Amino acid sequence: MDQRVTLDAGGVTFTVNDAGRYLIRYALKYRPQPDGAQNASDGTPLATNNCQSSVALNGTAASNAINASRDWNANNNGLMEKQFVKTLAAGSTLTVQISCLIANRLGTSIPVYLYGGGSSTFIVQRIQ
């Protein structure tokens, strides 16, 4: 296993241990739902046709998302994917995230957990 990129024990955060330029690529497969079919923890319906994925750098807040990593799934087809190159410092952390707007609450988003029949791929490869 290449020790330049490691995964935390929780299987959520990747740490880059060697500074350089990295090719970052992800494909998130999730089970799409009709608008309002999934619920937030407080029971509010989610608008799963308004989902966005991204890779967060050094934190999980929306402001930490790398702009080149954002993918908007307007078709709600159950797949979000992106590929980009980013220069990273040693110790940088990367977290893949997906969020959907909460119906009737514009500007609010919550994480949606990936589960079920889908699978996801996240590749971080040093290229320079």
Condensed to tens digits (0 to 9), the pLDDT of residues 115-126 reads 444 567 888 999
Higher local confidence (pLDDT), 105 or 24: 24
Largest Cα–Cα distance in the chain? 47
What domain range includes position 102? 5-126
State mean pLDDT over 87-109. Answer: 77
**Strand 109-111 vs strand 71-73: parallel, antiparallel, or unpaired?**
unpaired
Instruction: Quote the number of domains for the chain.
Output: 1
pLDDT at res. 81: 86
Lowest mean pLDDT among 20-34, 55-69, 106-120: 106-120
Q: Please, which pLDDT band fits residue 113 given cuts at 50, 70 and 90?
A: very low
pLDDT at res. 116: 45
Under 8 Å between Cβ of 4 and 88: no
pLDDT at res. 115: 45
Q: Which residue, 125, 29, 23, is CA-closest to 84? A: 23
Q: What is the CATH number of the domain that holds 32?
A: 2.60.120.40
Distance CA 72, CA 50 (A): 8
Q: Please, which pLDDT band fits residue 114 given cuts at 50, 70 and 90?
A: very low
Confirm whether pTM is higher than 0.85.
Answer: no
